[in-house]
Amino acid sequence: MAKIAILSQYSGQVYRGAEVFAQELSSRLHARIYKHAGQLEPGTQIVISTNGRRDVFIAKVWCLAHGAKLVVSGQSGPGLDDRLNLYAFPDTFVALTSHQALWAKKINPFVKVGVIPNGVDLQQFNPQVQPIKIDLPKPVILTVGARNPSKTGEVSKRQKLLIAAANKINCSVLCVGRGGDLELKHNDMPGAYTACDLFSYPTSPRESFGIAILEAMASGLPVVATDDPIRREIVGNAGLFVDPADTNAYATALKKALSLKWGSKPRHQAEKFSWDSVALKYDQLIRSLNR
């Protein structure tokens, strides 16, 4: 088995998509997580980087010097950071969606681009989890993410747009995350999902993915998400799409989503994104690079 390193600058400090990715993948691929490329050890054959900017170029130089292969996971999404990642000429750039892959191929057509999404733990997040107690009138719409930008560069998930829309209908909003109504550890999140009736994610179209969407669907919640190609690819038929900046349209979508019978659609959509299947795809990619 190849000796694999995963670069994840903020692992152990915050728990966003990139850090969840690093933890879940490292456990399945028997990989070691490093904060930055300067910590890499001789003998490493595959470097999977979620870091960007200066560190991805250091990682590329290290790989050239040690005969290793560099794989960049496009956790930053279409924008400057992943543009720089592509300019570092990794051996493979892994887009999280087909939309991001098309964008990457335009930015640097000389880099091999693959598509492997982020995933969800289907055992940890499921509709049978005991819900936490929340003192809010039903129905409750859940959103997850930091309310304000942080020193790690985490961007706001635009919860204020959800709150404005929800104020127009008869419902409650629960914001979970730094600066929100609740700050829960990731392992405590399953019960927050099952305590609510709907998940909404009014994030910027520039966001690369949104693992919280998968967690919500795995827990049985339908989703009202930003109408962009990335969110449509993730949510499929398990939710509704809207421009969150249009308050009236957003309120209408929330009300409609709460009234529909979604059945098992959210769970079935989430089952397409298990971490086990994601790890298998990375294993296949690694084997192809070592041929």
Question: What does DSSP assign to residue 97?
Answer: S
Give how many domains the chain has, as a whole number.
2
The verdict on residue 135 lying in a domain is no
Q: Do 208 and 190 lie in a common domain?
A: yes
In a domain, 128, yes or no: no
* In a shared domain, residues 152 and 52: no
Q: Do both 266 and 283 map to the same domain?
A: no
- Within a domain: 268: yes
Both 19 and 61 in one domain: the answer is yes
- Give the tens place of pLDDT for each residue, 135-171: 999 999 999 976 555 444 444 568 889 999 999 999 9
The residue among 73, 78, 29 whose CA lies nearest residue 48 is 73
- The distance between the two most distant Cα atoms of the chain, rounded to a whole number of Å, is 61
How buried is 261 (Cβ within 10 angstroms: 0-12 exposed, 13-18 middle, 19+ buried)?
exposed
* Within-domain flag for 74: yes
Q: Does 282 lie in the same domain as 249?
A: no
DSSP letter (8 states) at residue 23:
H
Tokens representing residue 55 in the block: 């560190």
The CA distance from 19 to 282, in Å, is 16
CA atoms within 13 A on the CB side of 133: 0
Owning domain of residue 95: 4-119+274-289
The whole-model pTM stands at 0.91
Ordered per-residue pLDDT tens for the chain, 291 residues: 689 999 999 887 777 888 999 999 999 999 999 999 999 999 999 999 999 899 999 999 999 999 999 999 999 888 889 999 999 999 999 999 999 999 999 999 999 999 999 999 999 999 999 999 999 999 999 999 765 554 444 445 688 899 999 999 999 999 987 656 777 877 889 999 999 999 999 988 888 899 999 999 999 999 999 999 999 999 999 999 999 999 999 999 999 999 999 999 999 999 999 999 999 999 999 999 987
| The amino acid at 231 | R
Q: Residue 58 in contact with residue 88, Cβ under 8 Å?
A: no
Q: For residue 242, what is the DSSP state?
A: E
